[in-house]
Structure 1
Amino acid sequence: MAFPSDQPARQPMNWIAMGRGLLVALALAIVLSLVSTVLLYFSNFSEKFMPWIAAFIVFAGVFFGAALASARAGSKGLYHGLGVGLGFFLLMWGLGTLLFPGPITVIGLLEKLLLTGSAGALGGIVGVSISD
């Protein structure tokens, strides 16, 4: 029989850490976008690489933002990382529909959700493992 004092206290979600992680993800995505714009302008790269570069920028931004959030939280890395990934997805989807109205494909939406979710989950796991 387990007594209430024998069970570890549940730690709540650290919303401040997730907010900071989301801000880091957004800032890193903006910086990487500007760097890639300059590199593509002054290089001979074809525009066919743009989807891959954009996916890398989103993945890197969410990964490092989620790692920072879960490292600051110190626990529940998967949840904190997924929170940053979902927040990034919702923010980008909302801004995208406001700034660029047009048809939305379900496949494209699911691809971006999978990209941000997996980057957030991986970043969250890495962040908790380096927080100790």
Structure 2
Amino acid sequence: MSKPELEFHRPDAPWTTPPGAAPGVQEQTLAEDPATGARTALVRWAPGTDTSAQGVTRHGFWEEVHLLSGALHDLTLDTTFTAGMYACRPPGMPHGPWTSEDGVTMLVITYPDPVGRRAAP
């Protein structure tokens, strides 16, 4: 199975709070493959979102993030990333925690590691 074939349309999936997400985080799934975990989503953080309580994040899949609007501040790096910036993270790469003073919207694409180098969650 793979992601569905979709021609241009207006996504109508609801905005939901992902399990374990910090308060203020919501996502709208655009396409996904439940068999592999590959997915594309819009993710938005409300103004004032803070993921400090979750600490540094690592996961066992590839993640690409393109900031569409707003900004994220990485507390570990003490660096702010703004609209138009992009990240590509391999499995196990540490990132965050984050804050977003004014909110942020991002396109997030995740997919399994093709060579099976799964990192510990």
- Tell me the TM-score normalized by structure 2: 0.24
- Tell me the TM-score normalized by structure 1: 0.23
Which of these two proteins has the greater Rg computed from alpha carbons?
1
Q: Which has the higher strand share?
A: 2
Q: Which has the higher helix share?
A: 1
The structure showing larger relative contact order (alpha-carbon pairs under 8 Å, at least 6 residues apart) is 1
